[in-house]
Structure 1
């Protein structure tokens, strides 16, 4: 009996064995270490059998087996269990892949070493201690700077949403983050973010990198589209529609139609002819990664003597320019793609206060001239 089974298995695909069940019916089974064990429903040699075999033997099946094994080890009602359920619907983390990845990293760092702890045992005191630790700036194993006031604020925000999900599941009656201490940042601690380019910075960069250079085109592309690096660096001729850019923002999913400013059009026209899909490519003719472009552009700024300037600072410079021209928030958001006014406010703090004040006083003087104040009649008193 054993020899017959072995002889029949010699003609089967790898990891497939044949046996008779308790009813005497021949069955085929897929068994491979690290993969789920599964039974075939289609007859041997058919197209349906081949499809089942490829599905059983796929990397996705192995990944699912690892996930299933991990889930089986999770303690019901634990932080690890809640994390798995929370991640099951990516939209809970944010509207785009970029945001989802960032939120996933925040929550995974929080859950590391706490996977087995019961959710119902987490108190506001625990949250306060975790947030306080997150406020301390340190360097992780990869040499990256982590922590700080902004990191603590983001962690508390995501933990509130995370434990609100546990409350919806009925695991807890009160969200412990609601009773925790809010992250307050004093004016001296508040970060101004990336340095905002000045008009002198822009002029100095243009003087160092003339039209016809990739460096100049990169700067004009960031400045005149006011988009994030992830969107600006992937723009190409295929995005031009009737003389305007059609841009689908990666972070927000918002579709923007932006006119191509003459300085940007001149920078594009001055470049050598190319069949590349992106205006900006590496020395090997490939599209830049976001991180790769950021590092490369910093080097070009350094070469121009602008050690504080970055690609993102150009996005802030465009916002500054619009703020100095006293454009309304709605107009500014139509270019940048921001949704909320408070998001715009972060980028307009670098607006030229002196110029705005001059404009305000000038308008007040003109108003007074056209509306003279009534003179007091001394004899009337």
Structure 2
């Protein structure tokens, strides 16, 4: 029986015609490796190879059959869903790595037989890296919630499993004014290093977006770009100073930040290059710490949570509140101290000036 080819190709799949007129299909995520897929979309061999490519497995090692209702089967169904397609590339990549671990360890296990204790044991095995363990649980929760919604399982075994406690850390250290001073002294206006620094401070872009930002995203003084991580549009207004800096610095045709040869950078190569740039200035910080500095400046200037979300590309208000709450507490503390000072002036000043209230007799001192 012939297999009809679907009109719309699966995610990350492209169709090509060879010089001999043969139609072939390739799988590729971003600038990753091109993987030749056997058969045609809709066929069993194509589906197996496609699922393997999504999971980062070698196609040659894919089993020819998948046990119905197994964990591997559930992952495959989820990865063919509209919900999976709607996730960001970064999220699919992270979850795909976790699901590959699950399949390698327990792929043939019936997904309906997985229990809460199984998930807890998996978390326990990952307790040395609590943040990673929590992301693992989050990925499993998404898988089983989807399975529950589509009647593939009757119970979500991740429900009620507690997250592991993580160290109370702010993550990447934020830049200080001393760091800013050291960096700007080392890298003057007109250098590519200074432009990268200025763009991140002014825009707060993640490195994955900073390397893509270019003139095609700029209209007059407004930069609009969809973030790679959350697929949300951020809008930033550049000052005349930043616009002038762009004009006097070497840039590319489609990217402001480029390498020595004028070619765009990947987020990884940019991260390494910017780290070396910081070290040359005596700054032991990162591009992400500079983004946090930008968010802190905005919050301390009175930006609301939703204003921060619009600029920094956050889709969850909790992330913005990390900065607004800290800024609000500082501002409220200052405002409260001013109220105290006002009360001192109106209620206590007469006493303080006359000495009443602070010149009482020492009860321990005898009159004699």
TM-score bracket for the superposition, by shorter chain length:
0.7 to 0.9
- Deviation of the 1:203 alpha carbon: 1.4
Partner secondary structure for residue 245 of structure 1: strand
Task: State the aligned residue count.
Answer: 312
Summarize the Cα distance change of 1:371–1:96 in structure 2 as closer, same or farther, 3 Å threshold: farther
Q: Is the 8 A contact 1:160 1:178 kept in 2?
A: yes
Q: CA deviation at 1:350?
A: 7.0
Residue 362 of structure 1, CA deviation:
4.2
Q: 1:214 aligns with which of 192, 206, 209?
A: 192
Distance 1:171 1:51 in 2: 44
The Cα shift of 1:351 comes to 5.4
User: Secondary structure, in 3 states, of the residue corresponding to 1:190?
Assistant: coil
Where structure 1 has 5 or more consecutive residues not aligned to the other structure, the ranges are: 1-35, 40-49, 137-147, 376-381
In the alignment, which of 258, 276, 280 is matched to residue 303 of structure 1?
280
Distance 2:25 2:86 in 1: 33
Determine which structure has more spread, i.e. the larger CA radius of gyration: 1
Find the partner of 2:307 among 331, 341, 351: 331
Shift of 1:248: 1.8
User: Match of 1:364?
Assistant: 339
Cα drift, residue 250 of structure 1: 1.9
The correspondence for 1:173, drawn from 154, 165, 170, is 154
**1:231 maps onto 2:209 in alignment:** yes
* Alignment deviations for residues 158-215 of structure 1 (CA, whole Å, 9 cap, x no partner): 21121123323434322111143x01426xx233211111122111110110001100
* Distance in 2 of aligned mates of 1:171 and 1:133: 27
Alpha-carbon separation, structure 2, partners of 1:336 and 1:368:
40
Check the 8 A contact 1:244/1:259 in 2, yes or no.
yes
Counterpart among 135, 149, 168 of residue 190 in structure 1:
168
Matched, 1:204 2:182: yes
* SS of residue paired to 2:106: coil
CA distance in 2, matches of 1:363, 1:60: 69
Cα distance in 2 for partners of 1:170, 1:38 equals: 27
Deviates more, 1:204-213 or 1:59-68: 59-68
The normalised TM-score by structure 1 is 0.72
Cα distance in 2, alignment partners of residues 184 and 312 from structure 1: 25
Q: Would you say 1:104 and 2:96 are equivalent positions? A: yes
**Matched residue, 2:255:** 278
**Aligned twin of 1:342:** 318
Q: CA RMSD in A?
A: 3.3
Output the TM-score relative to the length of structure 2.
0.74
Note the C-alpha offset of 1:123: 1.1
User: How far apart, CA to CA, are the structure 1 residues paired with 2:264 and 2:93?
Assistant: 21
Deviates more, 1:357-366 or 1:245-254: 357-366
Q: Assess, with a 3 A threshold, how the Cα gap between structure 1 residues 183 and 94 changes in structure 2: closer, same or farther.
A: farther
Q: Which residue of 2 aligns with 1:151?
A: 132
Deviations 1:211-230 (A, max 9, x none): 01100000001110011111
Tell me: CA distance 1:155–1:359, structure 2 relative to 1, closer, same or farther (3 Å).
Answer: same
Distance 2:187 2:19 in 1: 57
CA distance in 2, matches of 1:371, 1:86: 68
Looking at structure 2, the residues matched to 176 and 57 of structure 1 have their Cα atoms a distance apart, in angstroms, of 37
Give the deviation of 1:339 after TM superposition: 2.6
Task: Give the secondary structure class of the aligned counterpart of 2:133.
Answer: helix
Q: Are the equivalent residues in 1 in contact too, given 2:204–2:311 (CA < 8 A)?
A: yes
Is contact 2:304–2:324 with CA below 8 Å preserved after alignment? no
